Structure 1
Amino acid sequence: MTAAEKEAVEAFRRDVVEPSMTKLVMIDFWAEWCGPCKALSPVIEKVAADYADKGVLLAKIDTDANQFIAAQFQIKSIPTVYAMFQGQLVADLTSARTESQLKGMLDQILKQLPVDSAEAKTEAEIEPLIAMGEQVLAEGDAERALSVFEQIAEIAPDHPEVVSGRVRALVAAGRLADADAMLAAVPEEAAKAPEIDRARAALDLARSAPPAADLQPLIAAADADPENMQARFDLANAQMAAGERDAAADSLLAIVAKDRDWNDGAARTQFLKLLEVVGLEDPWVSGQRRRLSAILFT
């Protein structure tokens, strides 16, 4: 190799190979005269910036200035975009010409590789704190749960589980307007997360299930006329508002068993919303789903 080629190899090792030992490096082979390269560059650069916390770096290789490096990679046309991890090419990203396509490919790669990232470190740090907040919320201490989630939000303000916990704690504390405002401020992409759906369901459920000062009159009304589905439904809503999920589930399933189509399936819809609010991974939810299936399919 010539001195220039040795210098190019050393620069590539320093700027691309070494960082790839812990990061996922996107290598963009381009040239000043290449029109498609100029069109793709802003897309690649934006995605690289968006994914920096996920452990993604961008290395741009001018093929005119680095002909020896381009030859080693057998670059036939540009733009060509590769992904490298631990010194090995792991994907050809050239076909991704839009932001969504490139992010989709990176998401798939990042799921499979142990890439060192700030996001992963943050996740490990806040995971036990989120569990603590969820436990406190499940125990019914909404104000303390809100305090826990707000402290976590100082570390990861946009984390879906953190936002969901804060919203559900606000709902449990009766601060529905604040919960609504927080949900409205969630970025569009993050709003698609299932954790945000859970928070949204909690808010919807709280609005459709207002608390009652005394459950006894509602219980008496439902028991007095087993055919009165509305009375049973009103009781179920009040039981949910009071945090009596077992009793609420019993009341809603009693309606489904009696008349599953009552009020356009309102009882079943409310029952499923209750399960979503509790959390689909909760063992209690699995048991309630089996109860519903037994009613629907027997």
Structure 2
Amino acid sequence: MSPQEKEAVEAFRTDVVEPSMTSLVVIDFWAEWCGPCKALTPILEKVTEDYAGKGVRLAKIDVDKNQFIAAQFQVRSIPTVYAMFQGQLVADLSTARTESQLRTMLDQILRQLPVQSEEADAEAELEPLIAMGEQVLAEGDAERALSVFDQIAEMAPEHPQVAAGRARALVALGRADEAEAVLAALPEDAAKGAEIEQARAAVALAREATPVEDLSGLAAKAATGDMDARYELAGGQMAAGDREAAAETLLAMIRDDREWNESAARARLLKLFEAVGLEDPWVSAQRRKLSAILFG
């Protein structure tokens, strides 16, 4: 190995291999005379800059000045683009010639590798705070839960879990309009998660679950079998925060007449499930009861 080759190897180790121990390094093999390289360069630079917070960085290797390095990677045509992590090539990105294609491939890689990033560090810091807010909300202290989520929102205003927690706390406090505004303010890419759908379901449910002043009187009317009264009772029970009673009322309605009012009782029950959270153990238990009625 010549002195120049040794120098090139050392530079590659410093600029590419060592950073790849913690970051995902996108290696762009290019040359000044390469037209396609010049077209691809702005895309690589823009996307890797956008993904810097995710732990991605760009290393450019001029094949004319680094022929030995290019030969080690068996580069036969340019542009050739690889991704390296912890000193190993993990993907060939050469087929990604558009911004959308490159982003899609990077997203797939980042989901599979423990790349250190500012976003991951920030997420780790937020996790226990979000869990605390969720616990307080689950315990029924919506006012305190909202205070917790408001404080977290100052750190991460567009975090979907934080926005969802704030919205559900506002719903529990009877402030559905404010909850809807919180969700509407999220950017499009942050407004697609399951937690946001759960919060939207809670808002929708709050809008149709009308509070009832005399629940006992309405319950007596519902006991006569009046389906309209039973449906109104379920709404009043949900508005009062009594999901157990609401579910029992709706399940009984489905058992007696599942087709009533175009299956309105079942639709409301499913919306209640979504608002509580489909992974919640309570929802799982209620869904088993529903299945027993429908298919038993």
Q: TM-score range by the shorter chain?
A: over 0.9
Q: Is residue 108 of structure 1 aligned with residue 113 of structure 2?
A: no
Q: Displacement, 1:263?
A: 2.3
Q: TM-score, normalised by structure 2?
A: 0.93
Q: Which deviates the most, 37-46 or 129-138? A: 37-46
What corresponds to 2:236 in structure 1? 238
Q: Which deviates the most, 40-49 or 169-178? A: 40-49
Pick the aligned partner of 1:276 from 260, 274, 284.
Answer: 274
Q: What RMSD, in angstroms, separates the aligned Cα atoms of the two structures?
A: 1.8
Q: Measured at CA, do residues 87 and 147 of structure 1 come closer, stay the same or move farther in structure 2, by a change above 3 Å?
A: same
- Equivalent runs, 1:224-235 vs 2, <5 Å: 224=224, 226=225, 228-235=226-233
Output the CA distance in 1 between the equivalents of 2:33 and 2:214: 77
Output the CA distance in 1 between the equivalents of 2:170 and 2:102: 37
Q: Displacement, 1:100?
A: 3.4
Q: Displacement, 1:35?
A: 3.1
Output the CA distance in 1 between the equivalents of 2:208 and 2:290: 21
Output the CA distance in 2 between the equivalents of 1:144 and 1:191: 24
What corresponds to 2:257 in structure 1? 259
Aligned residue for 1:263, secondary structure, equals coil
Identity %: 72
Deviations 1:30-78 (A, max 9, x none): 2333333333333333332332222222222222333222222111122
Q: Displacement, 1:293?
A: 1.0
Output the CA distance in 2 between the equivalents of 1:223 and 1:242: 19
Q: Which deviates the most, 27-36 or 82-91? A: 27-36
What corresponds to 1:157 in structure 2? 157
Report the AA paired with residue 136 of structure 2: V
Output the CA distance in 2 between the equivalents of 1:43 and 1:293: 52
- Equivalent runs, 1:17-28 vs 2, <5 Å: 17-28=17-28
Output the CA distance in 1 between the equivalents of 2:186 and 2:230: 36
Q: Displacement, 1:165?
A: 0.5
Deviations 1:186-242 (A, max 9, x none): 111111111111111111111111222332232122112x1x322211111111111
What corresponds to 1:89 in structure 2? 89
Q: Which deviates the most, 276-285 or 4-13? A: 4-13
Q: Which deviates the most, 280-289 or 96-105? A: 96-105
Q: Measured at CA, do residues 125 and 259 of structure 1 come closer, stay the same or move farther in structure 2, by a change above 3 Å?
A: same
- Equivalent runs, 1:1-298 vs 2, <5 Å: 1-224=1-224, 226=225, 228-298=226-296
Q: Measured at CA, do residues 288 and 50 of structure 1 come closer, stay the same or move farther in structure 2, by a change above 3 Å?
A: farther
Tell me how many residue pairs correspond in the alignment: 296
Q: Measured at CA, do residues 231 and 86 of structure 1 come closer, stay the same or move farther in structure 2, by a change above 3 Å?
A: same
Query: Which runs of 5 or more structure 1 residues have no equivalent in the other structure?
Result: none
Aligned residue for 1:147, secondary structure, equals helix
Q: Measured at CA, do residues 39 and 222 of structure 1 come closer, stay the same or move farther in structure 2, by a change above 3 Å?
A: farther
Q: Measured at CA, do residues 49 and 208 of structure 1 come closer, stay the same or move farther in structure 2, by a change above 3 Å?
A: farther
